[in-house]
Chain A
């Protein structure tokens, strides 16, 4: 309940923030939403020496699409902004499905998508969504700016490739070439629960044919799992029941779940399969979380 002592700085520009991180010594953390970092600090699972609070840096709270459809989400764009976003509801079905399912409504007022990606919690929902969409993280540091595909960004549970003096400033979702469809389904027993299983599916079609697909899994492995083989199985053909079933099987095989108090490994694999089918086939939804339908 009580964090250990730390130094605190609240810079007013990105350059100032980066400069502070450079002086940060062994262990500095960036504070944006704080809805993952502060709980860790309260339990003393994280004890940074320096906390760099970027909430006073202007111009980071945006989310917007370029004319070609590339979506940019700033470091201080809150989950709640994305939940309310008409832009997402009309152009980003997978993201719009996921936004209402992040944590709970109050946490969503502070937490950020970019912060969630950086936190790299294997139970993080956004990571699956962004991975399925082929998204990237833009980082800025003293050596300049670089864009890191999410698949390369996370290196393990709670580990990312950012240098100690780099800040993630934006998440980028590449423009779609075809028509977008897809969604995010999360088996949570209660609002705010970690996902027993989460599945993000993002598909682009031109006419009947799937031209791009991404499937990523939450909570069924040591980190977010990109089910690349499963996604590949959808590309180059129509979304028939057979092709969907095949992709669903491959996705289930890609999962590496553990048997624990949330369920058996077998059950979790089964749920991966079930969710892939439901997202793509929009089959019967008895007992499904109503929230993701609200977002659709």
Chain B
């Protein structure tokens, strides 16, 4: 990935840092200003626009990605901080041939309307299911309490996660 700037006097001298990281299983190198937020590295640097930004006070969770498997709000992490780490975004959920059960579940149970909070919601849900394959409704609502949705009222999001959990359990059993 290359970032190109106009070669003005001071612009050309802005210090950047070289980082190496993995994104959805692919190894990358990037040269970034320290102040670049991880969300912007993902969206603008890598062109992975599935991760969204929705607020400026670390509340809404639309920017949620996984870093080393744990959900973080990518708007509140510096890009330089993923040097040496693994980042997973919504674009990495599906394989070439199959959707992730969470993606299927959200469609089956009408867990999205405008779709803007959905990637962040699914990543947070994925982390939940990775550690708790059989969550109760209460546990799901608790785990997703850092992700805001304006459209759905959450009831169908809960059903979507329950649907996905059931499918994942039957896949691992079967």
Contact = CB atoms under 8 A, between A and B. Distances in A.
Do A and B actually bind?
yes
Interface stretch (B1-9, B106-114, B141-149): B141-149
Contacts of A1: 53, 56, 75
Interface stretch (B22-30, B44-52, B66-74, B91-99): B66-74
B34 A106 contact: no
Interface of B: 14-15, 17, 33-35, 37, 53, 56-59, 61, 64, 70-73, 75-78, 80-81, 83-84, 124, 142-147
A106 B35 contact: no
A5 interface: yes
A119 to B, nearest CB: 14
B68 to A, nearest CB: 10
B106 to A, nearest CB: 18
Nearest to B124: A106
Given A10-B83, A105-B145, A39 B72 contact: no
B15 A34 contact: no
What DSSP secondary structure best describes chain A's contact surface?
Answer: loop
Interface in A1-16: 1-8, 10
B72 A106 contact: yes
A38 B14 contact: no
Contacts of A4: 35
A293 to B, nearest CB: 12
A43 B17 CA distance: 23
What DSSP secondary structure best describes chain B's contact surface?
Answer: loop
A106 B78 contact: no
A88 interface: no
B125 to A, nearest CB: 11
Contacts of B34: 5-8, 51
Interface of A: 1-8, 10, 31, 34-35, 38-39, 41-43, 51, 53, 55-56, 80, 103-107, 109-110, 191-192, 291, 294
A55 B76 CA distance: 15
A13 B37 CA distance: 24
B57 A8 contact: no
Contact of A106 (B37, B61, B83): B61
A4 B57 CA distance: 16
A38 B147 contact: no
B146 to A, nearest CB: 3
B58 A191 contact: no
Contacts of A104: 59, 61, 145-146
A39 B76 contact: yes
A110 B145 contact: no
B59 A192 contact: yes
Contact of B72 (A10, A56, A103, A109): A109
A192 B17 contact: no
B146 A192 contact: yes
Given A1-B56, A4-B35, A6-B35, A107 B146 contact: yes
Nearest to A191: B145
A105 B78 contact: no
Nearest to B77: A34
A6 B14 CA distance: 10
A8 B146 contact: no
A175 B106 CA distance: 49
12 contacts: A3-B35, A8-B17, A8-B80, A38-B37, A53-B81, A56-B84, A104-B145, A106-B61, A106-B73, A106-B146, A106-B147, A107-B58
Given A4-B35, A31-B81, A106-B73, 4 more contacts: A5-B14, A42-B75, A106-B64, A191-B146
B117 to A, nearest CB: 13
A291 B58 contact: no
A281 B80 CA distance: 49
Contact of A38 (B59, B78, B124, B142): B78
Nearest to B57: A39
Given A10-B83, A43-B56, A109-B71, A34 B146 contact: no
Contact of A34 (B17, B53, B70, B78): B78
A96 to B, nearest CB: 16
